[in-house]
Chains A and B, each alone.
Chain A
Amino acid sequence: MDKFAPVKRSEDGQPVRYLIVDDSVFARKNLARMVETFGGQVIGEAGDGVSAISEYERLMPDIVLMDITMPQMEGIEAAEKIVRDHPSARIVMVSSVGYQENIVAALQRGARHFVQKPVKPEVLYEVIKYVMRDDGTTPRGAGAGAGA
């Protein structure tokens, strides 16, 4: 895997803390491996939208990487609920289902960006850098789009 310069939190220079949400353990492990090469720290994982909300509340991560198609509660609905309570939450949707309607729905409901699977590390890296530069004051969806 490529070598990436570590992405740090601007406020204290600490590693970016991630919550990874995907119903596939395999996909979660792959994403975890990827963000660790960006110098990030995976502080939690969840396998569905309901657990994602509770894990977000418990861990308050810097970034959530969220799948869309999941059992119980889908990723877009979970993202909407998280952002409603935590407007500064940084949520990046990571899904193989990347049609325009889905992307627009995700961005309108508070996601900061969208990356299509299979995830290319260099694409995710650029998205993470972009999202971490955003201090939460950027209007929702501005500058965002399909990353892959």
Chain B
Amino acid sequence: MRMDLIQPFINSADAVLAQGLESPITIENLSMEEEAYRRKGIAAEVCLTGEIEGRIIFDVDLGAAVQLASRLAGVEVSETNEELVREAVCELANQIIGNSVTTLNDQGFHFHVRPPTLHTSEQGSKSSEDTEALVMCFSTSSGNVFMNVALRHHRRRATERAAVAG
């Protein structure tokens, strides 16, 4: 997988989580995954279409998700308030992925991002040879946050765009 596509996601997760939690973030683990994605906690999925196509799953351990929701909401959020916790995870995914998309678009990659949806199934689709999945684990003061990025760059579409632009 191209690192220039991945780096904005790492930078954005680092910045958004650090700002939201007001504490430093470290990347604990980074690995390529060939097996189908197995959900670890509360997960949101964002799909991209265009020159870059694929999906990103943002997955947070339940305990960490509750703490993140409380910190971001500015009030104590209980584990029983599942809807608010899920909303918080979706909004975090939206911010992290939106910021990454901003960087990639400004670098000349053109694509569209869909609103985040809850990823409720225990298992996601398998990655393929041309859509490898990179799994990142971020360690935060509230617990672990995982991001699974499976993207494909359509060179032909980029070339076509350049040709049309003249």
Do A and B come together as binding partners?
yes
- Which of A's residues lie within 8 Å of B, judged by CB? 1, 23-27, 29-30, 33, 69-71, 95-102, 116-118, 120
- Which of B's residues lie within 8 Å of A, judged by CB? 16, 19-20, 69, 72-74, 83-84, 87-88, 90-91, 94-99, 101-103, 105-106, 113-115
| Sample of 18 further A-B pairs with CB below 8 A, known A24-B87, A69-B94 | A1-B74, A24-B94, A25-B83, A25-B84, A26-B84, A26-B88, A26-B91, A27-B94, A30-B73, A71-B115, A96-B95, A96-B97, A96-B98, A96-B101, A97-B113, A99-B102, A99-B103, A101-B105
Minimum CB–CB distance from B68 to chain A (whole Å) comes to 11
Q: Which of A23, A71, A100 contacts B106 (CB 8 A)?
A: A100
Determine if B19 and A118 form an interchain contact, defined as CB atoms under 8 angstroms apart.
Answer: yes
Determine if A26 and B115 form an interchain contact, defined as CB atoms under 8 angstroms apart.
Answer: no
Chain A residues with CB under 8 Å of B74's CB are 1, 30, 33
Determine if A99 and B106 form an interchain contact, defined as CB atoms under 8 angstroms apart.
Answer: yes
Minimum CB–CB distance from A114 to chain B (whole Å) comes to 11
**Dominant SS among interface residues on chain A:** loop
Determine if B115 and A117 form an interchain contact, defined as CB atoms under 8 angstroms apart.
Answer: no
In whole angstroms, what is the CA distance A71 to B114 when docked?
A: 8
Chain A residues with CB under 8 Å of B83's CB are 25
Chain B residues with CB under 8 Å of A117's CB are 94-95, 98-99
Determine if B98 and A24 form an interchain contact, defined as CB atoms under 8 angstroms apart.
Answer: no
Known: A26-B73, A118-B20. A98 touches B115 (CB 8 A): no
Minimum CB–CB distance from A28 to chain B (whole Å) comes to 9
Determine if B113 and A69 form an interchain contact, defined as CB atoms under 8 angstroms apart.
Answer: yes
Determine if B105 and A30 form an interchain contact, defined as CB atoms under 8 angstroms apart.
Answer: no
Chain B residues with CB under 8 Å of A27's CB are 91, 94
- A-B pairs with lowest CB-CB distance, top 10: A96-B98, A99-B105, A26-B87, A97-B98, A96-B95, A99-B102, A26-B91, A24-B91, A98-B102, A117-B95
In whole angstroms, what is the CA distance A98 to B103 when docked?
A: 9
In whole angstroms, what is the CA distance A142 to B35 when docked?
A: 51
Determine if A97 and B102 form an interchain contact, defined as CB atoms under 8 angstroms apart.
Answer: yes
Determine if B72 and A69 form an interchain contact, defined as CB atoms under 8 angstroms apart.
Answer: no
Chain A residues with CB under 8 Å of B69's CB are 26
In whole angstroms, what is the CA distance A29 to B87 when docked?
A: 11
Closest B residue to A26 using CB positions: B87
In whole angstroms, what is the CA distance A131 to B68 when docked?
A: 32
In whole angstroms, what is the CA distance A26 to B90 when docked?
A: 9
Determine if A30 and B72 form an interchain contact, defined as CB atoms under 8 angstroms apart.
Answer: yes
Known: A118-B19, A118-B95. A23 touches B115 (CB 8 A): yes
Minimum CB–CB distance from A20 to chain B (whole Å) comes to 13
In whole angstroms, what is the CA distance A24 to B115 when docked?
A: 9
Chain B residues with CB under 8 Å of A98's CB are 98-99, 102
Determine if B98 and A95 form an interchain contact, defined as CB atoms under 8 angstroms apart.
Answer: yes
Closest A residue to B104 using CB positions: A99
In whole angstroms, what is the CA distance A118 to B54 when docked?
A: 24
In whole angstroms, what is the CA distance A77 to B102 when docked?
A: 19
